[in-house]
Amino acid sequence: MKNIIFIAPPAAGKGTQSDLLVEKYGYIHISTGDLLREEIAAGGELANEISSIIEAGKLVSDELVATLLTKRLSQDDVKKHGFILDGYPRNIAQAKTLEEILEEVQSSVDVVIYLELDEENAMKRALGRATCPKCKKGYNLYLEGFKPNVDGICDNCGTALETRSDDNEETFKSRFQTYMDSTSPLLEFYRAAGLLRNINSLQDKNKIFEEIESVIQ
């Protein structure tokens, strides 16, 4: 299978599609956040350094992330099953670092999939998210097919739904614009390399998955 980089704005469904690919094809899903948490949990040689940086409220350096990525991408399961990179690279400098890492571990990126989603629909998805605190069933208060039968109440157990306290229009618009500003050059970088494939994420998740399958096979 083709090695994949996923790029997507907030609420575009990147996590859902990654899960479907892992389930059907056995891909190894790699996110830098998970790598950092796993290194800390395992007590690896960098665990104390990473913990100290995070506890101080600082960002982990690109160099440190690159070290963890090199380690993970060189492992046998990744070479056997292929990888999905999620959340990395975030800019052209990281993209060039990734090229060096992949050359070192004798691998490559085969396709970069961009899940397109406009700001208005992204905001509806993000701000409409609600979860039952009891049974953990998820809903969206604004999207047909995902609304609860009774406003604000879980269909399964009748518990009042909870929304994320950090989800509001102002913070979302800022987050979305920041993402788009930083991502646009990266998309052009991969378009110029002939690796970029755009997929409309407003479609049903199964239709999106079919389009992704047509790209990777």
d(CA 173, CA 175): 5
CA-wise closest residue to 5 among 118, 114, 79, 117: 114
Per residue in 41-92, pLDDT tens?
A: 988 778 888 988 888 888 889 999 999 999 999 999 999 999 999 989 999 9
d(CA 201, CA 76): 32
d(CA 23, CA 36): 23
Q: What is the three-class DSSP state of 147?
A: coil
Per residue in 96-152, pLDDT tens?
A: 999 999 999 999 999 999 999 999 998 888 888 899 999 989 898 888 788 999 999
Six-digit token string for 90: 């975030």
Q: What is the band of 165 on the pLDDT scale with cuts at 50, 70, 90?
A: low
Q: Where are the domains of the chain?
A: 4-117+172-216, 129-166
Per residue in 94-111, pLDDT tens?
A: 999 999 999 999 999 999
CA-wise closest residue to 141 among 156, 126, 159, 119: 126
What CATH class does 4-117+172-216 carry?
A: alpha beta
* Mean pLDDT of all residues in 198-208: 93
CA 119 from centre of chain: 17
End-to-end CA distance of the chain: give it in Å, rounded.
6
Average pLDDT, the chain: 91
* pLDDT for 153: 96
- Return the active site residues: 14, 90, 129, 164, 175
